[in-house]
Structure 1
Amino acid sequence: MKKFLFFFFLIFSSTIFSQTKVGGIVVDDSGSPIAFANLVFKNSSEGTITNDNGRFYMESDDTYNTLVVSFIGYETLEIDLSQKVNYNMRIELVESTEQLKEVVVYTGKQSKKNNPAIDILKKIWAKKRENGVRKFKQYKYDKYEKIEFDLNTIDSNVIKSKLFKGLEFVFDDLDTSRITGKTYLPLFLNENFSKVYGDNVLKKEKEDVLGNKNSGFQGNQAITAFVEDLYSDYDIYNNYLKFFDKSFTSPLSKTGVDTYNYVLSDSTFIDDKWCYNIIYYPRRKNELTFKGDFWVNDTTFAIKKINLQVTKSANINWVKEIYIEQDFDVVNDSIFLLKRDYMLSDFSFSKKEKSRGVYGKRTTVYDNYEFNLPRGEAFYKQVADPYDPRVFNRDSVFWKNARLERLSEDESGIFKLLDTLKTVPKFKTYYNIVSVLGSGYIEIDKWNLDIGDIYSTFGFNDAEGYRLRAGARTYFGQNDTWRLEGYMAYGFRDRKFKHGLSGKFLLDRKTRLILSGGNRRDIEQLGLSLTSTNDVLGRSIASSSLVTVGANDRLTNINLSTLNFEIEPVTNLRFRLGGSFRTLSSALPEAFNLDYLDPTSPTGISSEVKQFDINSTLIYTPGKRTIGYGVERVNINDNHSILLLNYTKGVEGFLESDFDYERLQFSYTQPWQVGGFGRLTSTIELGKTFGEVPLSLLSVVPGNQTLFSIYNTFPNLDFYEFVTDTYATVHLEHNFNGRLFSRIPLLRKLNLREIFGLRGAWGQLSDENIALNSPSNIPLIAPDEQIYWEYSFGIGNIFKILRIDFNFRGNYLDNPDARRFGVTGSFGFKF
């Protein structure tokens, strides 16, 4: 839902405080735009750099009379500013012909040798661990953060459009961006004040949130989660800076000399400290890089000021601009500490100059630093409750003292504007439509009920034919301590009703003790996962896929009842203990039976399994972040590892359960950010079943007969092609994020992304289990002779939403109806 609501902002995509504004284009004598030209107000350190198209915009709270424009290999030009606002400027630079003694003139790509800028850069690398709070044993500081979203490029066409008919009052308060010069309308503002404590000796840090104030969509955790994930913390001294799930090479990186051109441009005093100014810009297009400049002190080689602007050619979707500023204060005459961090993102469907979109702005201010006050390890174990109601209900006196940077007049007006908007029926209609598309549920407030989810309404499979489904859930708020959910479905071929009912109850918020249970009677494709289904409402895409490869007739009737307790005594460490009772039988016995030898049956064969299991699971997700404190929380990030250990005990005789067995399973999923080479996702799964069990309880190597790319499955395997009681699988998928295609001239402008996948499975099936399942009418084969493997090549970001994978089978080509090659795909909005 986060991304649906984000794109809602895009679809619905003045007061002047500054004293000097300039904007326009810089060209050479032939009229061609000059990218990365340097502009600065004379006798100041305030400046900017032209974008890929030679365009610029800059403003200042101070009044300046002269603009200085320069670029390597061109004459420096000083332009008199006749008025405070100077838009649509056309600045023409002339190539430099003067040869100065002992001056090297750099043009185009800069040399890595004998470059004074790189000499300074090397000293920054050597000193970077000696700056900031790392210099002290302990530290403490105040942190104030505000995040704002605004509609931008507001003009008369937008104001008079039918979309905003009846909402014209929102345009009474418009402002102009000091970065882009565009008129914008504030829509959302979140303020947060906290105190941060750290101990470099103990390697501990904690942040106590003391106040949080939200305007706009404060009840919507999906938007809040999107904002939290969007603006994660970063350190400019790191080699790579992560934004929008992508790694950008930092201009201060040790690999920067291979990625950027560096030019020593100027030197001057800033706050009584002599600093060098270095301009940097990318060596190649289409890579995840920045352009900008920074000021660095001549003795500590600590950064005093830096700005970073993502180039328009960077392979990133829906983001037209990213602009970052950081300012550092000097304490104790030599320690540089981060004072202010500002980031602006311009989200838009198009990167064209005049396209409309949404600004996302984050400003973080740091103050009141204290050092070398030890607090002990016990202090860091005491974590404040971030959902304490007092945190969200601070009065105006608190915020007056907490704001380390005052709100502008327009920012202050957001709270009143949004309160008014919520009473306008037309705006509520827009918001409700997007909420339905994002969550899949239709809210009925007067009944505290949601209808849905709408995306499961229609389906098809070989057993049911066409299928209709309708469901609902209780919904009093996003932090409900209990939730009931259920559905009914009907298959037009088998003419049978199906159902599912689930309940979850949060018994203790501190330890997140949850009681859950329910019942489901339905048809399911069990061959898509190595783990038994215990989700009474879950349903795999293979069970209702409209189009499949080959016959999708190996389906199972399932009647499942569960009761579980879950507890999270330590953050991100969960324990689950529960029991389940399943009745399993084939949905299409003629094509796929689940028969097994049964001496107690009159015929010696049974086709139905009744099984009671006791299940215990440990799930560890280090680094996972969530918001909310109800029975269902919202995940913020997906860049965390997942470790799962599962033990299942089948109990024979209880509730007429048929089999006694034990199963042990382990899986480990880890995403790896491989610097500027993209993102690798790896998964290892291991499992073993002790005892004799029928086919319906064995571990099936997950095939995939759908046309969708589904991670952790084998797209060239049919369902139940390999059946095991002992198994090991490995999945590797690497997304290069366009790193390779960006070096191919004909493909560079398409911003395509290359994905490589490699998968393997090994398993065994004991002679006892083969004998037990001998009546089965499908071959029982395990990949025990050699590891089964596949590989794939994928192209992502086609039209910005489509990914296509070309999948190849590596071996076992003699299996019945073995598929050597297949094509799968997926859709999605990805940055």
Structure 2
Amino acid sequence: MFKYIWGILFLSLFGINSVFAQKTIVSGVVKDVTTKETIPFANVFFNGTQAGTQANIDGVFTISTTNAQYNILKFVYMGYETKLVTIAVGKTQRIEVLMTPSAKALKEIVVTKKNKAKYSNKENPAVELIRNVIAHKDDNRVKELNTVSYRKYEKMTFSMDNISDKFRNNRLFKNYQFLFQEQDTSKFGGKYILPVYIEERLTDNFYRKNPNFNKIIVLGEKQAEFDKRYVDNKGLQNYFKRMYEDIDIYANNISIISNDFLSPIAASAPTFYKYFITDTIKNTEPKLVELSFFARNKGDMLFNGKLYVTLDGKYAVKRARLSVNKDINLNFVRGMNIDLDFDADENRHYNLSKSHLSVDFGINKEKGFGFVGDRTVSYKDYAINRPLPDSVFIEEKVTSAEPKQVLKGEGFWEQNRLDTISSNQLSIYKNIDSLQNIRSFRRTMKYGTLLIAGYQNLGGYDMGPFNTFYSFNNVEGFRLRVGGRTTTELSKKWYFENYLAYGFNDQKIKYYLSGAYAFNNKSIYTFPQHFIRASFQRDTKIPGQELQFVQEDNILLSFKRGVNDMLLYNDFYKLEYIKEFENHFSYGLQLKKWTQSPAGGLYYQASSGDFVSKLTTSEVAFNLRYAPNEKFYQGRAYRTSFVNKYPIFNLRYSLGLKDVLGGEYNYHNLNGSIDKRFYLSQLGYSDVRLEGSYIFGKLPFPLLSIHRANQTYAYQVYSYNLMNFLEFVSDHYAGVFVDHSFNGFFLNKIPLIKHLKLREAVSIKALFGGLRDENNPNLTSDGTYKFPLFDNGQSRTNSLGKAPYLEGSVGLSNIFKVLRVDLVKRINYLDHPEVSEWGIRTRIKFDF
């Protein structure tokens, strides 16, 4: 079957006649006539034609033809005399080509010849050239100009590729044949592709160096949209923008598909790349040098490719052709190609005129269907160092030329596109609309949303999330829960959410009811939020457990280590107001009454010895959040931010009110956090969080800061994975979390192991804090609660001493492309009961 398919592909590429023609196949190696060392990247042509190829890094080449008149090969390489070799027509042959150094290029002989063991940056003209490019790159960057304005057109398409006839003709796709498009098999892996997405954007862009400011005016946007009940189209757009960012060849690092690749003209590039001068182009003005480069280590986040550099003293990049090695430690990527073209303006400054990025994705890197994403960006109408009116810079950084009216018709795009668009690409808009009218597709989207998001749409009401329907713990036993919430199909102003749960061991009913009013006629779960909500919740909670992106009664988190019998029964009355702005600044106000009752192995005992059945507080809270340049995908239950280099700030102040709505204590609680990812180029990236809190007032331990512990077997980045629930409390603390991924920097260089594509990870977590004497029940007996004890009399809850709590881990990620496993070590406070010094934790993480 495979031979048959490949036969069809061969015929379609070369035609029937070529099958019966005699074929000449020549392979061989190019060497220096004197040293016999191989010459990398030598150009090989059929004499008198432009048909040819290029030798690889080892000087090895293969070239073929069916033309009987092609009987001479020409070999060209800078620093060597051109070599002509006669070949036998119609035969398969292997030759060794010996090239003679040119007399006028004797100085270059030593450095341009290739020998893996002897490659050196020292006295290498290719490295000298790239160092000149690096030295002049600031002069050639747009950001070094005083002012710049230009028009920019972006086109993004996404298609399923390498589709066989068998796949296409499957009866499941009987109603979808209009979607398939026949393509050139030399470009794609199979006969058909299935376009699934397209978007276009036209903007005017303005930049000023001093004072620094950027301005984007959106002139038009167009996107193939899916049913909003199932797909967040804006989030999809944000996701593709995160994967396919603008490419700045002059930056030290180039971000593509959420990874940082070291630029071939970064300051440290000569340490990680090898460079060769492979050609000079003399029929241009100015003359260009073709500079080939490749990654020293095939697994690292590096490029292979060519730069075309001007020889006019500016050492500017005129063209760039980038790709990646097939052995790169990059998941689900079969291939990547980047083409950048620069045009000179009247001041001989080279501005980017066009960029094209194409990535071929697939589960299997060698075969099978996959996806191809293409992003083409065209630039026009550059105005350099011309005065810009102040009015350009007094509004938001991103605006529209016609507010709330950037979705333009086809007539607008026909007149304003800066690039061509094929009829096949244009048909995607119509096809996606037609697709959503097919009943089977709507059914697929419905069940797909259920599987991914966990909610089933019932028309105005979403039932779910389904992963919380069943769970268990030591106090409630088996627990069943059912619930859901209303959607915009019912009302765009009023939203209600509810659930009902029952524990078969404690035989108690738990429930939640909320009603919200949206001031902006949008779902209260989508950005930008602006709503007021009142709610009541009666349910259980583990003190000190704070889960990330999942529900607390998720079935997968029911499995816990160690002693896990402390639980709270809570009654929450809340009234909250949330306001978000387009710049991602938000604030919230909250009025809360909280009644908590201990259960299981947890009890509250006053210093007098009396047991306390419940504790009530009333508080007003005010919180601020700022996440500049935040992008996210909006799910049904929560939104997922795409991590970038920008920090996220949180600040919260809470005021406890005694004798108000039954509150028993006055207090002030101020806490805040800063989250940021630091990109360290080839050394990977670090996710860092700094957080702290200070509580003013005399309070029992349940109202103090109960530090985030984790007794599940899942690794949590911002929890202490070997700390027990309610093991530590503080009235003041500072915490530092550092989680670093090396992206395989070290493992990529170990023979055999490098083929596993594993990635190293390390983390360190430190918690500084303590209790003032007035809040430490071991030092005072006035108004505090005693720390709970185990049956043997040992304390279950403690305060931090002079030494911080320390925890670290080393891990391997990218196991089977999705799994991370960490060996976690608890460094101190090992004398506490029921603690483990070592632990193994796992985490599922999808990443490129």
User: TM-score range with shorter-chain normalisation?
Assistant: 0.7 to 0.9
**Cα displacement (A) at 1:627:** 7.5
- In structure 1, the residue matched to 2:155 is 146
Counterpart for residue 696 of structure 2: 690
Find the partner of 1:710 among 684, 709, 716.
Answer: 716
- What SS does the corresponding residue of 1:420 show, helix, strand or coil? helix
Q: Mark the structure with the bigger radius of gyration.
A: 2
Secondary structure in 1 aligned to 2:588? strand
Q: 2: CA distance between counterparts of 1:218 and 1:91? A: 59
Conserved 8 A contact 1:683-1:731: yes
User: For residues 45 and 492 of structure 2, what CA distance do their matches in structure 1 show?
Assistant: 54
CA displacement 1:371-405 (0-9 Å, x = unmatched): 31322277342456569785453122211122101
Tell me by how many angstroms 1:325 deviates.
Answer: 0.5
What are the equivalent positions in structure 2 for 1:12-27 lying under 5 Å apart? none
Q: Closer, same or farther in 2 for the Cα pair 1:559/1:56, shift >3 Å?
A: farther
What does 1:433-448 align with in structure 2 at a 5 Å threshold?
433-444=447-458, 447-448=459-460
Alpha-carbon distance, 1:277 to partner = 0.6
Distance 1:554 1:120, change over 3 A: same
- For normalisation by structure 1, the TM-score amounts to 0.85
> For residue 527 of structure 1, what is the amino acid of its counterpart?
G
Aligned mates of 1:79, 1:163 — CA distance in 2: 56
Q: Which residue of 2 aligns with 1:9?
A: none
> Counterpart in 2 of 1:823?
840
Paired residue for 2:531, among 514, 520, 523?
514
3-state SS in 1 of match to 2:180: helix
1:11 match? none
Q: CA, structure 1 residues 383+794, in 2 after alignment: closer, same or farther (shift >3 Å)?
A: closer
Q: How does 1:372-521 map to 2 (within 5 A)?
A: 372-376=386-390, 379-382=393-396, 385=399, 391-444=405-458, 447-476=459-488, 483-507=495-519, 513-521=530-538
Report deviation, 1:655.
Answer: 0.8
2:128 to 101, 119, 124: 119
Give me the whole-angstrom Cα distance separating, in 1, the residues matched to 2:322 and 2:563: 54
Q: Where does residue 328 of structure 1 map in the other structure?
A: 342
Query: How far apart are the structure 2 equivalents of 1:494 and 1:77?
Result: 89
Deviation of the 1:48 alpha carbon: 8.4
The higher-RCO structure (CA 8 Å, 6+ apart) is 1
Unaligned runs of 5+ in 1: 1-13, 59-63, 81-88
Does residue 627 of structure 2 align to residue 621 of structure 1? yes
Q: Distance in 1 between matches of 2:431 and 2:503?
A: 49
The answer to whether the 8 A contact 1:139-1:373 is kept is no
Aligned amino acid, residue 203 of structure 2: S
1:653 to 651, 659, 663: 659
Amino acid at match of 1:572: H
Distance 1:311 1:172, change over 3 A: closer
User: Structure 2 matches for 1:36-185, cutoff 5 A?
Assistant: 94-96=96-98, 98-101=100-103, 102=106, 103-104=108-109, 105-109=112-116, 110-134=119-143, 136-176=145-185, 178=187, 183-185=192-194
Q: Distance in 1 between matches of 2:380 and 2:745?
A: 40
**Is contact 2:617–2:665 with CA below 8 Å preserved after alignment?**
yes
Mapped pair 1:592 → 2:599:
no
- Cα gap change, 1:480/1:302 in structure 2, threshold over 3 Å: closer, same or farther? farther
The answer (yes or no) to whether the contact 1:479–1:630 under 8 Å persists in 2 is no
Aligned residues: 787
Structure 1 distance, partners of 2:197, 2:145, is 37
1:292 aligns with 2:305: yes
1:750-765 to structure 2, matched below 5 A, reads 750-765=756-771
Alignment map for 1:546-557 (pairs within 5 Å): 546-557=558-569
The answer to whether the 8 Å contact 1:38/1:50 transfers is no
Letter in 1 for 2:539: D
AA in 2 matched with 1:654? V
- Percent sequence identity over aligned pairs: 27
Which amino acid letter does the alignment assign opposite residue 288 of structure 2? C
Matches of 2:403 and 2:63, distance apart in 1: 43
User: TM-score, normalised on structure 2?
Assistant: 0.84
User: Is structure 2 residue 539 aligned with structure 1 residue 527?
Assistant: no
Preserved contact between residue 821 and residue 841 of structure 2 (Cα < 8 Å): yes
Q: Does the 8 Å contact 2:332/2:361 carry over to 1? A: yes
Q: Please tell me whether the aligned partners of residues 174 and 186 of structure 1 are also in contact (alpha carbons under 8 angstroms).
A: no
Q: Does 1:197 align with 2:206?
A: yes
Identify the range of structure 1 (92-101 vs 741-750) with the bigger mean alpha-carbon deviation. Answer: 92-101
Distance 1:502 1:725, change over 3 A: same
* Structure 1 residue 684 displacement after superposition: 1.7
2:445 partner SS: helix
Higher alpha-carbon deviation: 428-437 or 355-364: 428-437
2:627/2:649 contact within 8 Å kept: yes
Shift of 1:93: 6.7
Instruction: Map Cα deviations across residues 517-537 of structure 1 (whole Å, 9 max, x no partner).
Output: 3222111112124xxx9x9x9
Structure 1 residues 151-181: Cα deviation after superposition (integer angstroms, max 9, x where no partner): 1112222223344344333335445564878
- Which shifted more, 610-619 or 66-75? 66-75
Please give the per-residue CA displacement for 1:783-826, whole angstroms capped at 9, x wherever unaligned.
21311211111110111111111011111111112211111101
Instruction: Give the Cα–Cα distance (whole angstroms) in 2 for the partners of residues 661 and 301 of structure 1.
Output: 65
Structure-2 separation of matches of 1:91 and 1:607: 91
The one-letter code sitting in structure 2 at the alignment partner of 1:616 is F
Partner of 1:281: 294
Report the Cα offset of residue 609 of structure 1. Answer: 0.9
> 1:725, 1:765 within 8 Å by CA — same for their partners in 2?
yes
Query: Which AA in structure 1 matches 2:442?
Result: K
Give 2:249's aligned residue. 236
Show the counterpart of 1:210. Answer: 219
- The one-letter code matched in structure 1 to 2:715 is S
RMSD: 4.1
Kept after mapping to 1: 8 A contact 2:513/2:536: yes
Tell me which residue corresponds to 1:733.
739
Helix, strand or coil at the partner of 1:96: strand
Structure 2 regions of 5+ residues with no counterpart?
Answer: 1-8, 19-23, 31-37, 65-69, 522-526
Question: Aligned AA for 2:128?
Answer: D
TM-aligned CA distance change 1:91 to 1:75, over 3 Å: farther
Cα gap change, 1:217 to 1:616, in 2 (>3 Å)? same
